Chain A
Amino acid sequence: MEIHRYEKIWFVIALLMIVGFIATIAYGAVGAGVEMIADDGGTMDPNDVSGTEFEDPGVRQVGEDHYEVYVLSQQFLFRPGTTEPIRVPAGSTVTFYITSTDVMHGFALAGTNLNVMVIPGQVAKVTVEFEDPGEYGIVCNEYCGNGHHSMEGKVVVVPESQYEGP
């Protein structure tokens, strides 16, 4: 098989570039500490939330600076998040547990790297650190029905001194 020298060189460069891309992702994981959402949130019966934390979703304090937020996604609102914002203090580590009891949804804080799929039967578990006070918009970014475009919410990160608890 005759391959021109220039193409052989490109073949090697292309392979190196591919390895470089993989190495970058690995650096993100090992160096910068970015974790992938996985299956550690567990599963549950999407037709019956009784006896689970999702029966009464909301913010819970579980440590000095550690909070858990249970979010139930439904057509077409986040509970909490939509009718009342999710409130956490600045400087906290927050673990979100998110599920749905009807269809697929998405839970993303627009403009940030917090972005997950919400699948009935699965619990999406992700942990992030809120350093500074501010506000974030929650977008449902997975089509969930004819009111999908109105499904929004808010996360409010309150200055630590002003936080009154969950």
Chain B
Amino acid sequence: MSAESPFVERFPSEARIVRLNLGVAFIALFIGGLFGAIQSLHRTGVYRGLIQSSDYYSMLTAHGVLLALVFTTFFIAGLFHWGITRSFDRNAPSQWFSMTWFGVMLLGTVLATIAILGGLIPFAPDDLNAAVLYTFYAPMKAHPLFYIGAALLIVGSWLAGADWFWSYFRWRKTNSDERIPLQAFMVLVTWLMWYLATLGVATEVVVFLIPWSLGIIPAVDPLLTRTLFWFFGHPVVYFWLLPAYFVWYTILPKLSGGRLVSDPLARVSFVLFLLLSTPVGFHHQYLDPGIAEGFKFIAMSNTMFLLLPSLLTAFTVVASMEHGARQRGGKGLLGWLRALPWDEPAFAGVALAGLMFAAGGFSGMVNAGMNLNYLVHNTQWVPGHFHLTVGTAAALTFMAISYWLVPQVTGKRLQLKGLAIVQPYLWFLGMTLMSNAMHRSGLAGVPRRTAEPEWNAVSGIAYETIVGSFQETQLQIAVGGVLLFVSVVLFSMVMFGTFLVRADLGPIRVSGSLPRPLSTAEDGPLVLDNLRLWFTIAVVLVAIAYGPPFFDMISDGVFWPGTPPTTSGL
């Protein structure tokens, strides 16, 4: 890797692509976060004056799509474009092609967002809405623009991967004996998993939902389309998580003052994710009729083993932080924790994100338990879980690493650093309050995805929490939700300020160099870099897990039992 001129000076065009992607991501984060705060006030009953309950679901769709699909995908694309360029230390093969994939992703996003926001704008046409939530299960129908937009976002992401694989093949021609640089390895493995995973949702949207929403085909089988969604819906969470792991493995050790203890172990964990992320989707359908228990059991076993690469990551990453802390002079069994740079925003945010992920991991283990799902399915436990994982492990890592990355791709010093130091801690506090309350109210049976969880027509029934009370959980959710939005505002101010400040105020203070791992790539077996082998095994595992159940669903007719579109009642 080159010495110390910043990335933006060595690769100005690539830096521009990164900035564009991050810019879209941060706008989506702000709007999605604002809606989240409104939702947390509305459904808890603290303040219902901003929207009608019937409009809540359009807002919830926007919240889910903007945060879990737009913010994530664009941030990841920007981060990975930086990582690939840095790894191979050369320009992208075609700046025009890079701009194209960004443009396709952006077009898709705009179309889908117009459809969703149409449901919130009073003067929009009646049929311009997409109150279908981020999972858009048939037979509930959205405006065709929603599905077309979603398809374009996915296709754009495929083109992004093509850009990076192109870079890889070009680099290979002049580096036939070298190990794939670690960051590039992680990008390519993540994207191989993504290509496999998106086959499900692409089929669902392009083959079924777009024609159905346009009236070209009269009916679709809701169980089949739902299964196609969850074929994608589980691996997408690793699409969010692996970029966070990318940061934790390759950058966090340096932020901690140390080195990654093992490059090969990092590769092992990514390979395990490629193999096991997709053949597990039925754990989102444990309580579905129409699916035999055997298929659910296979999904459960695969899911439980999928815990392994995360558990290994926990050890490797914490050990790398310990290495840094001790190099900084930290001593004692646990006293070294204090030697870490908790006053540096990038370090603090990424470390807190990792800590919170440990809690999210537990609720994920519960979610994986087949019959245990009767306890938590579709209760508030589920958003309690995923706000810790995508909502913190991924989102807070992305925000925090921006404090380190954005100066390098803009050439500008981080502004409003005082706000940046506070922002991760505020996020951690808000999420602790909101998520613990969601888990507890979920165990009491309070449902997710509803504008008004309290009993309306039915009398004499109460939610019983094991600790605390229903009312107290609702209050914590409202307070937590508002604190999280304040944290997003702080983040946005820092980013806005940094993007807008003049470029010539002096050199950036961040160093982009990443030290060599303690155990390097060459210490690991060559087979780890055999992408073709791992991808082939991944495909075989998916064929085993999904072949028979899909055959079952299709054998009585691809479109049977079929349903026509139904509106959300808007």
Contacts and interface: CB of A to CB of B under 8 A. Distances in A.
Nearest to B451: A149
Interface residues of B, number: 85
B304 interface: yes
Nearest to B316: A7
B569 A36 contact: no
Contacts of A69: none
Task: State the main secondary structure of chain B at its contact with A.
Answer: loop
Interface in B325-383: 365, 368-375, 377-379
Given A114-B374, A119-B290, A141-B447, A146 B308 contact: no
A149 B450 contact: yes
Contacts of B523: 1-2
Contacts of A25: 300, 369-372
Contacts of B562: 46, 121
Given A37-B287, A122-B223, A113 B451 contact: no
Interface string A50-68: 0000000000000000000
Contacts of B122: none
Contacts of A18: 304-305, 307-308
A102 B139 contact: yes
A7 B266 CA distance: 13
A163 to B, nearest CB: 19
Nearest to A152: B458
Given A145-B140, A149-B450, A110 B374 contact: no
Given A108-B378, A145-B567, A145-B569, A36 B293 contact: yes
A123 interface: yes
A2 B262 contact: yes
Interface string B435-472: 00000000011111111110111101101100000000
B319 A143 contact: no
A111 B131 CA distance: 28
B558 interface: no
Nearest to B135: A143
B296 A145 contact: no
B226 interface: yes
The 6 closest A-B pairs by CB, nearest first: A121-B561, A110-B445, A137-B461, A141-B378, A146-B54, A124-B289
Interface of A: 1-4, 6-7, 10-11, 14-15, 17-18, 21-22, 24-25, 28-29, 34, 36-39, 41, 43-47, 75-76, 82, 102-104, 106, 108, 110-125, 135-150, 152-154
13 contacts: A17-B311, A22-B300, A25-B369, A25-B371, A28-B371, A38-B296, A39-B292, A102-B563, A103-B140, A117-B287, A138-B458, A145-B140, A154-B461
